[in-house]
Chain A
C-alpha cells in the first residue's frame, strides 16, 4: 500500500462552499491560484501516481489567526465521503482553553487517526507545559502526531518554534508516542537524522520540494544532505512518503523517490510500510 502522509485538503470541493472561508484559507495557509477540485480530479492524480491513500490534515489557528484553515469536522466529512482513500487527522490550537476536550472529541467522536500540530503557525514551543496533556492524550489513545518542522511557507511562521532540537525532550518524556517531524525539518536535515538515530519512534517525511525539480531535490536529500547509504542503513523504517499537496504534486515526488539509488525494500518502506506502522494500522 502506498500512502501520502501529508496533504492539506484546502481546495477539496466538498468543503469549499463558503467563498469567504476559502479566501481565509488561501491567505492564512499561503497558497493561491488554485481552485476547488473535485474528488475525481484529486483521485485522478493519486491513481496516476499509484497512491492508495492520503492523510488529510486540518489546521486550527483559532487564537493566532481567528479560525481554522480546515476544521476537524470538515476532515471527518471528507473521510466519511471517501474512507477508501482518505485518512483523517485532527488539529487543535493548544492555546485554546478547550484544547484537550476538542482533541478528545476529534479522536473519540470524529474518529480521526492522529494529530497534526504546527508550532510555527500556532506559536508554541514543542515543550511548552500546555502541550503536555495533549501529548499524554495522544500517547494514551495510541494516536501519532505529525509536527510541522523546519521552514514553512505559511505566512507568519517563525522557524524558531519548529527547529528539530526544540522537539527532543518530547521523545525522552513520551517514548511511546510516535512523532513525525515533517519535511525532514528542512534545512536542518542533519539534526533530523540525529533525532531519528536516537529515537526509534521518531519519523520524518519526504515533502521537501523547497528548491529545484522533484528529482533534483529528492536526490540531493538522499545523497548529499544525507550520506548515500544512510536511508538504507539507518532510517529505512523512519521515512514516510509525503507530498505536501497542494504545494507539490504527489506523483512527481513519488517519481523522484522511485529513481533514487536505494534498494527496493527501502523504497517500499518509505512509500507505505512505514506509514502503516506510524498510523498503528499493523
Chain B
C-alpha cells in the first residue's frame, strides 16, 4: 500500500527554515499504514530537507556553515542569461546549499506511527525564497490490520 500527500509552504525570505515535523507525523498516522517507510521529498532544486534538532542555535550554526561553504558573493558560473528560462540565473548559492542538505529524508513506520527521535525534527529549508514550495510525503508499507480484515471481508 502506498499513500502520497503534498505539503505546500510559503517562504518569506531568501533562506528560511520551516518545520514540517508535525505535518509529516500527521500524514503518516492518517495513512492507514501499520509498518513500512515514510519518505519526504522536495520538488525543488534550491531547497533542502534536513533532519536536526529544532533549536535556534542549531539552525544558526547550520546556516552559518552553509554560508561559509556557498557565500552570496562567490564567483559562480550560474550567473548569466538562460535561454530556456528567458531569465538570468543567479541562484547558485541556493543550488549548492540544496546539494549539501539533500532533497529528502526517510523514516521507519512502526505500529502506524513514524519512528522519530525526540530531537529529530524535519525541516524544509528554502534557499531561494521568498517562494511557494511543494514537498511530497509518501508512506509505503503493510496496511493496518483493520484494513486487512476489511479487504478479507470484501473478498
- Return the CB mask of B72-110 against A: 1 if under 8 Å, else 0: 010010011100111110100000000000000000000
Q: A32 near B85 (CB under 8 angstroms)?
A: yes
Q: A215 near B84 (CB under 8 angstroms)?
A: no
Residue from A33, A45, A210, A249 within 8 A of B85 (CB atoms): A33
Complex interface: chain B residues within 8 A of A40 (CB): 10, 132
Within 8 A of A (CB), among B1-58: 10-14
Q: B10 near A44 (CB under 8 angstroms)?
A: yes
- Give the shortest distance, in Å, between B113 (CB) and chain A (any CB): 33
Given contacts A48-B13, A248-B87, A248-B88, contact A37 B132 (CB under 8 A): yes
Given contacts A41-B132, A48-B12, A48-B13, contact A213 B86 (CB under 8 A): no
Interface size class of chain A, counting residues whose CB lies under 8 Å from the partner chain? 20 to 34
- Return the CB mask of A178-215 against B: 1 if under 8 Å, else 0: 00000000000000000000000000000001111111
Q: B84 near A153 (CB under 8 angstroms)?
A: no
A216 contacts the other chain (CB 8 A): yes
* Chain B, Cβ-Cβ closest to A259: B73
* Chain B, Cβ-Cβ closest to A33: B85
* Chain B residues with a Cβ closer than 8 Å to the other chain, count: 20
Q: A29 near B86 (CB under 8 angstroms)?
A: yes
- Give the shortest distance, in Å, between B94 (CB) and chain A (any CB): 11
Complex interface: chain A residues within 8 A of B10 (CB): 40-41, 44
Q: B85 near A31 (CB under 8 angstroms)?
A: yes
B111 contacts the other chain (CB 8 A): no
Complex interface: chain B residues within 8 A of A48 (CB): 12-14, 129-130
A247 contacts the other chain (CB 8 A): yes
- Return the CB mask of A244-256 against B: 1 if under 8 Å, else 0: 0011110110000
Q: A45 near B80 (CB under 8 angstroms)?
A: no
Complex interface: chain B residues within 8 A of A175 (CB): none
| In the bound complex, CA of A216 to CA of B131 (Å) | 24
Given contacts A40-B10, A153-B81, contact A210 B86 (CB under 8 A): no
Complex interface: chain B residues within 8 A of A246 (CB): 87
In the complex, 16 of the A-B residue pairs with CB atoms within 8 angstroms, ordered by the A residue number, are A32-B84, A41-B130, A41-B131, A44-B10, A44-B130, A48-B129, A48-B130, A153-B86, A209-B90, A211-B80, A213-B73, A215-B73, A247-B87, A248-B88, A251-B14, A252-B90
Residue numbers of B with Cβ under 8 A of A are 10-14, 73, 76, 79-81, 84-88, 90, 129-132
